[in-house]
Amino acid sequence: MSDRPPLASILEAVLAAAGGPVSLERMQSVFEDHEVPSAADLREALAALRQQLQVRGLELVEVASGYRLQVRPEVAPWVARLWEEKPQRYSRALLETLALIAYRQPITRGDIEDVRGVVVSSSIMKTLLEREWVRVVGHRDVPGRPAMYATTRQFLDYFGLKSLDDMPSLQEIRELDDANRKLQLGDDAEVRQATPGSYDFTSSEEVEQRGADVLADTEQDLNAAAELVAKVEAGVFNKDTSESPEPQDELQQALARLQAKDDEPATDNSADTSSQDGDESASNHEE
């Protein structure tokens, strides 16, 4: 017993070898009966391990199925180059469908179609079920008894969530989308509104001062936007070491689009968009 390595070292090795989330119960199962640590001891050791990893390329995160080691986002671009195969991309239609299930569960396929305004293709639902991101949790007591869908533990694990409470609110999604737009396009509203005669400068010093003020204001706005993006992405959409973060970014965009749709008047474009969804589903070779 005295020759046993530190508990934190044992847990680090177990998590590295597991290749996925490990629950406290499973951690306890690797010890002999006479040396099984308590749940409190395990949590204390995990906290120590998390602290040790602060300056390393890996981080310890808790998700729905337990604890796992994963690559830190800041070093992920280098790790991703180990794999030549490009990560799988999911269609806009699939991600919007998944976002609706996540935020409005339990929900029927008809409910999803009502919100999106288009028919949900069978291939989309098949992909979500095969990936075990959603499951049937019951049937609505109406004619036809349509299936009601909800997300799964695998959904939480894949998107780095401990529970559904960790998902950002729709308001946060809208703010994140606005921040991303500002980072991509820059704060050019003042430039668009300005006309050649808008400013009456009497010296080159005033011109330079005006330019410095505008740059300072823009930099402040962009810094605030970047902080919001980093906060939401770091706290919500971290994921496993072996997969690219792109699906999470796309899911965020899908959530933002759905929030925008809630604010728009309904239009009858189901025929055109339905065919577009079908084309997207086929072209992305969803599983």
Alpha-carbon Rg for the chain, nearest whole angstrom, is 24
Domain range 92-160+265-283, CATH architecture:
Orthogonal Bundle (1.10)
Q: What is the structure's pLDDT at 270?
A: 43
Lowest mean pLDDT among 29-33, 65-69, 81-85: 81-85
Taking residue 184's Cβ as centre, other Cβ atoms within 10 Å add up to 7
7-71: CATH topology: Arc Repressor Mutant, subunit A (1.10.10)
Name the pTM for this structure: 0.51
C-alpha dihedral (261, 273, 244, 186), degrees to nearest 10: -50
Work out the pLDDT band at 77, boundaries 50, 70, 90: confident
pLDDT, greater one: 133 or 209: 133
91 token code pair = 């269609």
- Asked if residue 277 lies in contact with residue 124, where contact means CB atoms within 8 angstroms, the answer is yes
Work out the pLDDT band at 52, boundaries 50, 70, 90: very high
| pLDDT, tens only, 125-159 | 999 999 999 999 999 999 999 999 999 998 988 88
Domain boundaries, the chain: 7-71, 92-160+265-283, 165-236
- Asked if residue 99 lies in contact with residue 258, where contact means CB atoms within 8 angstroms, the answer is yes
Q: Do domains 7-71 and 92-160+265-283 have the same CATH topology?
A: yes
pLDDT value at 237 more than 50: no
Q: What is the structure's pLDDT at 257?
A: 67
- Asked if residue 164 lies in contact with residue 156, where contact means CB atoms within 8 angstroms, the answer is yes
pLDDT value at 83 more than 70: yes
Give the phi and the psi of residue 149 in degrees, each rounded to 5: -110, 150
State whether residue 58 is helix, strand or coil. strand
Q: Measured in Å, how far apart are the chain's first and last C-alpha atoms?
A: 48
pLDDT value at 275 more than 50: no
Mean pLDDT, the chain, integer: 74
Lowest mean pLDDT among 188-202, 205-219, 242-256: 188-202
pLDDT value at 258 more than 90: no
| pLDDT, tens only, 176-193 | 656 656 665 654 444 444
pLDDT value at 171 more than 50: yes
Mean pLDDT of 208-224: 55
